[in-house]
């Protein structure tokens, strides 16, 4: 079993398909998508058509929650299932499409991996004004934050890897911010909270995030977009 990782796909899985062909993957292998997979976006038949296509992939998708998609319980008839030590959301007809639960700690080849999804949409008002999808559950609420912290307390705030969508505020790639966007209008509450998580963590291997549509590493936190990597390799 291999654990591969990449950034946002926004409903376009052509590079994932090509990766599977080039690497001869199977459904025993896992592709982690660091938020905004775009599978539960339209909330209509278009999502189901995409899921049908993705169910034919020779890989299992493990999707972190992003800010441009619905949470699973808003999008369909999802069940909770135990998988690699944690809870995932899955639809019976699409067993290779897994959606992470924020705060769950999974074990990938004996490495502990906590998931913390969500982010604020800097294009929120553009979306609302132009009839595009926007989700008011995009950021982790207080219930989710408390659950994350409770889970970390159970392991003495020590994990191998963090998978998130956005990043702690000191790791933001400010050079990649949208030109002309007044950053004082952007809700940074999730990034500030993640910074607190980061400062209290005993993080043994690494932190991976998506969201910013760039490839970067800031303060030991790797931001990914279209690149691929493999984590938690078998020893």
User: What confidence tens digit (pLDDT) does each residue in 101-116 have?
Assistant: 999 999 999 999 999 9
- Output the pLDDT for position 27: 97
Main-chain dihedrals φ then ψ at residue 231, nearest 5 degrees: -120, 165
Strands 216-218 and 221-223: antiparallel
Looking at the DSSP assignment, which residues form a beta bridge with residue 112?
A: 107
Lowest mean pLDDT among 44-58, 163-177, 201-215: 163-177
What is the spatial distance between Cα 191 and Cα 28, in angstroms, rounded to a whole number? 33
For range 169-196, the mean pLDDT: 85
* CATH number of the domain encompassing residue 225: 3.60.21
What is the spatial distance between Cα 141 and Cα 216, in angstroms, rounded to a whole number? 27
Give 156's pLDDT tier (boundaries 50, 70, 90). very high
Q: pTM for the full model?
A: 0.95
- Output the pLDDT for position 123: 86
For range 196-215, the mean pLDDT: 96
What percent of the chain has pLDDT above 90?
83
- Output the pLDDT for position 173: 87
For the chain, how many structural domains are there in total? 1
- Output the pLDDT for position 126: 84
- Output the pLDDT for position 198: 96
- Give the other-Cβ count within 10 Å of 233's Cβ: 10
Residue 192 has pLDDT above 80, yes or no: yes
- Output the pLDDT for position 45: 94
Residue 183 has pLDDT above 80, yes or no: no
Domain of 25? Answer: 3-231
- Output the pLDDT for position 175: 78
Query: Of 94 and 75, which is predicted with more confidence?
Result: 94
């Amino acid at each position: 079993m291999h654990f591969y990782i990449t950034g946002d796909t926004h409903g376009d899985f052509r590079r994932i398909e090509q990766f599977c062909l080039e690497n001869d993957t199977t459904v025993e292998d896992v592709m982690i998508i660091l938020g905004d997979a775009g599978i539960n976006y339209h909330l209509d038949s278009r999502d189901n058509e995409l899921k049908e296509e993705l169910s034919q992939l020779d890989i299992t998708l493990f999707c972190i929650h992003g800010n441009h998609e619905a949470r699973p319980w808003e999008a369909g008839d999802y069940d909770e299932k135990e998988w690699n030590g944690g809870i995932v959301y899955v639809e019976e007809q699409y067993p290779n499409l897994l959606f992470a639960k924020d705060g769950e700690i999974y074990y990938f080849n004996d490495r502990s991996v906590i998931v913390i999804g969500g982010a604020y949409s800097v294009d929120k008002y553009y979306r609302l004004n132009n009839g595009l999808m926007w989700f008011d559950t995009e950021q982790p609420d207080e219930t989710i934050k408390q659950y994350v912290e409770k889970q970390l307390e159970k392991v003495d705030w020590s994990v191998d890897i963090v998978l998130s969508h956005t990043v702690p505020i000191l790791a933001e790639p400010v050079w990649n911010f949208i030109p002309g966007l007044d950053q004082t209008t952007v809700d940074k509450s999730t990034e500030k909270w993640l910074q607190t998580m980061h400062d209290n963590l005993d993080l043994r291997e690494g932190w991976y995030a998506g969201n910013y549509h760039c490839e970067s590493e800031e303060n030991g936190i790797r931001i990914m977009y279209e690149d691929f990597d493999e984590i938690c390799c078998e020893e």
